[in-house]
Structure 1
Amino acid sequence: MFFNYAIGLRTSLMVTLASVIALIVDADDPWWAAMSAMTVANADWTNVWRKGIQRVIGTIAGGFSGYWIAVAVKNYEVFQMIAVGCLAALAIYKRMASPNYAYAWLMGIVTAMLAIYISLLEIDLLFYLMVDRTITVAIGVMTAAVVSYYFLEETSLGVGVGPYLTPNIDTMDKSWVIALCLSGAAVAMLAPIIYVGHELAAMVQIIITSLVVLYGPVVSVKKFALNRSLGCLIGGLMGFGLIGLGLQSFFWWALLLAIGLFFLASVHHGKSYWAYAGTQGGYAFVIAALASAGPVDNFNQVIDRLVGVVLGAVIAICVLIVVRIWQGADFPDIEHINQKKARKPRVKKT
């Protein structure tokens, strides 16, 4: 089932509500609320609760630790690069080694890395920006929880989550795990260099994309890369269309936002190979729509996000290939094909 319209409608409602609330409280980055609501959206109430708590706790812990790390290394560029590299490697490893709390680890470390990246430009505003991010994340999570509770309090429906995989790190090739961690660290340290000439959003998307893509076995890396790239392209184009209209009416802007989210969320909750593309498309769409805190045409934010996503996926794969060659392994796709052939039982000819 490619679309799931029933759950897509509910997700559209909660993300739109989260966006409006974030705009009402005048959050600096209101799209974090919308992204948080879409991230924790799930057909099962217990999953909404579990994922929401992990996102909030991870954000708070990451913001607190990241703030103090950023303050400690603010005048030492070498230590700043080492810090983000180590954090990226830790994020990739813990996502695979701690599946029950993988999302909390990912959100916590991403927030900590974000604090360090922000400190490169705006150390004086760092504390305020971390508090603002935590509040907007909490708005999105609470909105998703309330909507889910009233719609699905008595249900235990399941939902397809597309390419999400829970890899067993104990069964994975140790050299592959090391390659993923080293590649993530390298991309994290390269991001501030590549980001020059773009907004902070581009640099952040480079590292977030690399952490998403560099996860699990070879087939998982390929799937995440394809889904994230395609989803961001579609969501970005939809966002261009919305902000290109230059709507000044908040009602019509919110209505079109909800309609776009309905389509993307329906894909997001489907059970196809491309379900994760709907997730990423939703992220790109809300960032474009909320880039100017309402119905104002501003293309810069969505362009920077798309640039960052494309660079992040390409750089992550290229660095991974270089690391695998350095390890003496085959090209990743060839290696995966060889592993499949090795597992395929031989049939004797008669």
Structure 2
Amino acid sequence: MKDSQTEAKSLPRDTIARLYQELAEIRFGNARGQHCTRITLAVALAVIAALVLQVDAPWWAAISAFVSIQVTAPSSIARGVLRIGGTTIGAAVGFFLSPWLIEDQIALSLVLFALTVTGVLGLQLSGHGYAWLLGAATANLVLLAALDDPASALNIACNRTGEVTIGTITAILVSLVLSPQGENLKVGPAAPGWSDLFGAGWPSMQHALSAGLGVMLVPWVWNWLELPSLSQAAITIAAVMAMQTTSENEAANLQKVAIRATHRILGCFIGGVAGLALLAVSFESFLPWLAALSAGVWIGAHVQNSTRGISYVGTQGAVVFIMTLVQGSGPPTSIMAGVDRFAGVTGGTLLVLAVSLLTASSPRDSSHSAQRGA
């Protein structure tokens, strides 16, 4: 127990030390630097395309470009197909369910629970896990975003699908032109499948139930405390619980959640502070703003490709940086959007940690569980 407490206390300090090492190793001309440049180019082009097309939330296009482009072109295509497919299906599910759920918060909470459990289970058990998770997250986003205006569900579903598609296709095109034409994603162990969820698959099921409970509580907690960015909190919980490996060791699983949550908060803080600091400059012209955005994205991509176990800090930092700087039809004029999103991310992370601690089983309770393959 003391060892776990010591590790928890040293985690932020150790993460910051590793982050410093990564930043000290920045190089532009090596293979890693070239990959970061491709990611940055894809994000910049996605932002330009989204602004030209006047989409509702251009930051979704930028984020999709950032997370879709992979080291090789075939890998980018494979990830892009899963991202577009999962988002499209999830948006459709959220739209068709919304008329029956918006006025009934209890039913809405139960559906959020079921969608999240299914998505997190799919991530762990299916060979197309990325699509399962995105489908659940997008359905949740549509349902929660439509709470204030039920009539907007169709608009939200279509906009999110379009924005994600713009960014993903941009990433694929950049990858096809500039990335190495290597082999597809390396083949790992076969997906464990959906059988025996209450036997050998119980660790995965328990992890998914914890995630579902966290998202289920979001509307109640957020309405009670009158907090902003309700949908961002739900997405945060799904992201923190998005782990593809769980085991019979409940303490190890909880530690993974804590590490991921710590990395998300730290990345969110760094990306948010950097973005808000740049907003204070009050960009009045497009090119300086795009250059500042590109610089932050490049650094985030560099950390995302870390081999020191802190890649999620880079991913989250870049995502929040993008969401802070990309707000509307051009350079942002207010810092409040960035502040609200930061509050949603932080609140969602704290909620999932609380749920994970409360639902953690004792070693005796989990002794019947078996190790699940990755």
TM-score above 0.5, yes or no: yes
Match of 2:236 among 209, 221, 241: 209
Aligned residue type for 2:171: A
Q: What letter matches 1:28 in structure 2? A: D
Contact 1:321–1:331 (Cα < 8 Å) also in 2: no
Give 1:253 shift: 0.6
Summarize the Cα distance change of 1:185–1:166 in structure 2 as closer, same or farther, 3 Å threshold: farther
Letter of the structure 2 residue corresponding to residue 213 of structure 1: V
Which residue of structure 1 lines up, in the alignment, with residue 217 of structure 2? Answer: 190
The answer to whether the 8 A contact 1:96-1:166 is kept is no
Alignment of 1:253-272 (within 5 A): 253-272=289-308
CA contact (8 A) 1:206 1:313 kept: yes
Q: Which moved more, 1:48-57 or 1:294-303?
A: 294-303
The CA distance in 2 between the partners of 1:6 and 1:270, in whole Å, is 14
Q: Does 1:69 align with 2:105?
A: no
**What displacement does 1:7 show?**
1.0
Are 2:33 and 1:5 aligned? yes
Q: Does 1:295 align with 2:325?
A: no
Give the Å deviation of 1:17. 1.0
- Name the residue aligned to 2:12: none
After TM superposition, the structure 1 stretch with the greater mean CA deviation from structure 2, 108-117 or 66-75, is: 66-75
Aligned to 2:165: 138
Asked if 1:42 is matched to 2:70, the reply is yes
In the alignment of these two chains, the number of paired residues is 324
Partner of 2:249: none
Distance 1:95 1:270 in 2: 22
Distance 2:109 2:137 in 1: 15
State the TM-score, normalized to the length of structure 1: 0.85
Q: Which amino acid aligns with 2:270?
A: I
Q: CA deviation at 1:128?
A: 1.2
3-state SS of the aligned residue for 1:121?
Answer: coil
- CA positional deviation for 1:115: 1.6
Q: Deviations over 1:168-196 (max 9, x none)?
A: 68899755333322221221121112323
> Structure 1: which 5+ residue stretches go unaligned?
160-164, 340-350
Q: CA deviation at 1:131?
A: 0.8
120, 124, 133: which one aligns with 2:151: 124
1:57 aligns with 2:85: yes
Partner of 1:321: 357
Within 5 A, what are the aligned runs for 1:140-159?
A: 140-152=167-179, 154-156=181-183
Distance 1:142 1:266 in 2: 22
> Structure 1's 309 and 148: CA in aligned 2 closer, same or farther, altered over 3 A?
same
Q: 1:311 aligns with which of 342, 347, 353?
A: 347
User: Which residue of the partner structure matches residue 13 of structure 2?
Assistant: none
Distance 2:235 2:174 in 1: 28
Q: Quick check: 1:7–1:269 contact (8 Å CA) kept in 2?
A: no
Residue 128 of structure 2: SS of its match in structure 1?
helix
Q: Normalising by structure 2, what TM-score?
A: 0.80
Report how far residue 75 of structure 1 moved: 2.8
Q: Provide closer, same or farther for how the CA distance between residues 206 and 298 of structure 1 changes in structure 2, counting only shifts above 3 A.
A: same
Q: Write the deviation string for residues 142-165 of structure 1: whole angstroms up to 9, x where unpaired.
A: 110111111025345989xxxxx9
Deviates more, 1:287-296 or 1:240-249: 287-296
1:60 Cα deviation from its structure 2 partner: 0.9
Q: For the Cα contact (< 8 Å) 1:74–1:120, is it kept in 2?
A: yes
Q: Once the two structures are superposed, what CA deviation does each residue of 1:31-50 show, in whole Å capped at 9, x if it has no partner?
A: 00001001112111111001
Distance 1:166 1:287, change over 3 A: farther
For structure 2, the 5+ residue unaligned runs are 1-20, 27-31, 247-252
**In the alignment, does 2:276 pair up with 1:233?**
no
When residues 233 and 135 of structure 1 are mapped into structure 2, their CA distance, relative to the original with a 3 A threshold, is same
Over the residues paired in the alignment, what is the CA RMSD in angstroms? 2.7
Q: Matched residues in 1 for 2:100 and 2:316: separation?
A: 34
Correspondent of 1:284 among 320, 327, 339: 320
